């Protein structure tokens, strides 16, 4: 891959230093350095955008079995922000309006968000997932596979390289035997093998494939003692009582509550928390912990101001995976023009339209910590080509959870546990 023809110019591809081994970027385009403190308002807006996406993903449910869902609003937000960087006209306005993206300094804010995660970057392939690391590994990677025969806008590539660190891979989509393994290898490498293949079915008529991968592995600040794990009842939404392996601990953590919920921020060793939200047993819809975006925003604000308290916690183990047809999710959000336009992505490729959008995610939560991964893929084709505890909380019925980056409040992963078995 010596180069790619872009609007009559040659943009050479050179090796980039870690975090992503083998990542390529446009030659001569350096990642722009930003100060996150200058983008506090924009980062809060991006948090609200991610919460809205998370609510839509949980409402859709994907292919989650027995009501369990794991998703990554963080991954979807990053992928949509990369897509928005090449949108214009009514599609740009629709994305900004529906997702409530910052109207100014949007790309700079996303750069700041990604930069805030980089201190936790590492190689997913080096993680011993049976012993999650005390120093969390939060690996984020952005990749763009484009057809060598189609013009891709140079300004778009520069924006992705400068603000998203996106690697650009010129391929021949008609050559499935070469291109599909290349995309799948990128996915496998950037998720530490937890996701082996790209989530969208391969289509040789595509000319554009945008990907974001997130990988997270971290030990709890205070691990659960396996000797204290026992089989205890868990009541499902339909009233059925099952038995699930359940962990126990007691430690200082943020505790917050509202009129019909209460929850905790269970801390990892550094930089992240798992937000666990338990609807009150008598609350409307308590059996299904799918929360609307407004409620999620209220919960986030409550935790921003919550004090540390000594909490005795009872939490089941779980190991879940899920996949989503994101065209369906984006349609439910009210993005019809984004899904159908053949004009407003010309800055990416002339007459390009979206053909596929998908996400795959998984998570493992156990006594030592958490390991999770997600990949979001958006494909397109040119239209011509197509002491005594102060609190006690027992998660013994369906509950909502998030993996939250403490500095920005971004929900990297979001899900619900209906049946932890």
Contact 15, 67 (CB under 8 A): no
HSE-CB of 367 using CA atoms within 13 angstroms: 11
The total domain count for the chain is: 2
Contact 376, 57 (CB under 8 A): no
Reference 373, options 166, 131, 70, 136; nearest CA is 70
CA dihedral 100, 373, 61, 106 (to 10 degrees): 10
Give dist(CA 239, CA 166) in Å, integer.
47
Give dist(CA 418, CA 421) in Å, integer.
9
**Residues 90 and 213 placed together within one structural domain of the fold:** yes
**Residues 370 and 284 placed together within one structural domain of the fold:** no
Query: Rounded to the nearest 10 degrees, what angle do helices 106-117 and 40-60 cross at?
Result: 80
Q: What is the CATH number of the domain that holds 9?
A: 3.30.497.10
**Residues 331 and 269 placed together within one structural domain of the fold:** no
Give dist(CA 74, CA 52) in Å, integer.
11
Check residue 137 and give its pLDDT: 97
CB burial class (10 A; 0-12, 13-18, 19+) of residue 9?
Answer: exposed
CB atoms within 10 A of CB 85: 22
Q: For residue 14, what are the contacts with CB-CB under 8 A and spacing of at least 6?
A: 24, 25, 27
- Strands 137-147 and 208-219 come out as antiparallel
Give dist(CA 305, CA 121) in Å, integer.
28
**Residues 259 and 373 placed together within one structural domain of the fold:** no
Give dist(CA 150, CA 80) in Å, integer.
22
Check residue 22 and give its pLDDT: 34
Q: What is the CATH number of the domain that holds 286?
A: 2.30.39.10
| Domain extent at residue 207 | 3-219+320-382
**Residues 362 and 395 placed together within one structural domain of the fold:** no
**Residues 406 and 307 placed together within one structural domain of the fold:** yes
**Residues 103 and 167 placed together within one structural domain of the fold:** yes
Q: Where are the beta strands (DSSP E) in 165-296?
A: 167-171, 208-219, 230-235, 241-258, 261-267, 272-279
**Residues 42 and 78 placed together within one structural domain of the fold:** yes
**Residues 244 and 307 placed together within one structural domain of the fold:** yes
Contact 83, 378 (CB under 8 A): yes
Reference 232, options 68, 396, 393; nearest CA is 396
pLDDT, averaged per 10 consecutive residues of the chain (421 residues), comes to 33 33 49 88 95 95 86 97 97 96 92 94 96 97 94 93 92 95 96 97 96 98 96 92 96 95 96 95 65 93 96 96 96 96 96 96 97 98 68 87 90 89 84
**Residues 141 and 170 placed together within one structural domain of the fold:** yes
Q: For residue 148, what are the contacts with CB-CB under 8 A and spacing of at least 6?
A: 4, 5, 170, 171, 172
**Residues 406 and 374 placed together within one structural domain of the fold:** no
CB burial class (10 A; 0-12, 13-18, 19+) of residue 179?
Answer: buried
175 φ, ψ (degrees, to nearest 5): -95, 80
Question: pTM of the predicted model, to two decimals?
Answer: 0.88
Q: Where are the beta strands (DSSP E) in 259-347?
A: 261-267, 272-279, 308-316, 318-325
Contact 247, 228 (CB under 8 A): yes
> Quick check: helix, strand or coil at residue 114?
helix
Reference 154, options 1, 12, 17, 353; nearest CA is 12
Contact 346, 93 (CB under 8 A): no
**Residues 34 and 172 placed together within one structural domain of the fold:** yes
Check residue 281 and give its pLDDT: 82
Check residue 228 and give its pLDDT: 95
Tell me the residue length of the chain: 421
243 φ, ψ (degrees, to nearest 5): -115, 130
């Amino acid at each position: 891959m010596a180069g790619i023809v872009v609007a009559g110019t040659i943009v050479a591809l050179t090796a980039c230093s870690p975090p992503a081994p083998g990542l390529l970027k446009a030659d001569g385009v350096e990642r722009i350095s930003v100060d996150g403190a200058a983008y506090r308002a924009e980062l809060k807006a991006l948090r609200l955008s991610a919460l809205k996406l998370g609510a839509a993903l949980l409402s859709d449910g994907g292919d989650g079995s027995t009501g369990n869902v794991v998703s990554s609003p963080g991954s979807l937000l990053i992928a949509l922000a990369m897509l928005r960087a090449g949108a214009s006209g009514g599609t740009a306005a629709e994305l900004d309006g529906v997702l409530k993206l910052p109207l100014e300094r949007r790309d700079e804010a996303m750069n700041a968000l990604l930069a805030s995660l980089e201190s936790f970057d590492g190689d997913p392939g080096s993680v011993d997932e049976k012993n999650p690391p005390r120093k969390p590994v939060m690996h984020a990677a952005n990749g763009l596979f484009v057809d060598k025969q189609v013009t891709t806008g140079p300004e778009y590539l520069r924006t992705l390289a400068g603000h998203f660190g996106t690697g650009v891979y010129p391929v021949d989509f008609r050559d499935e035997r070469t291109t599909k393994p290349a995309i799948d290898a990128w996915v496998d490498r950037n998720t530490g093998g937890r996701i082996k293949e790209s989530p969208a079915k391969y289509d040789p008529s595509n000319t554009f494939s945008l990907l974001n991968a997130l990988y997270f592995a971290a030990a709890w600040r205070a691990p659960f003692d396996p000797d204290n794990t026992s089989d205890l009842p868990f009541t499902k939404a339909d009233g059925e009582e099952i038995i699930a392996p359940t962990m126990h601990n007691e430690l200082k953590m943020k505790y917050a509550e509202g009129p019909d919920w209460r929850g905790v921020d269970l801390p990892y060793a550094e930089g992240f928390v798992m937000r666990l939200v338990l609807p009150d047993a008598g609350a409307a819809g308590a059996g299904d912990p799918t929360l609307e975006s407004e409620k999620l925003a209220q919960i986030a604000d409550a935790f921003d101001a919550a004090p540390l308290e000594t909490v005795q916690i009872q939490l089941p183990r779980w190991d879940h995976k899920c996949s989503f047809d994101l065209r369906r999710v984006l349609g439910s959000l009210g993005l019809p023009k984004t899904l159908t336009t053949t004009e407003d992505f010309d800055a990416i490729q002339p007459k390009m339209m979206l053909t596929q959008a998908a996400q795959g995610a998984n998570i493992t939560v156990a006594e030592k910590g958490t390991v999770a991964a997600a990949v979001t893929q958006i494909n397109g084709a040119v239209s011509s080509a197509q002491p005594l505890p102060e609190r006690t909380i027992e998660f013994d019925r369906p509950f909502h959870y998030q993996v939250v980056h403490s500095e920005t409040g971004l929900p990297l992963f979001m899900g619900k546990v209906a049946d932890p078995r």
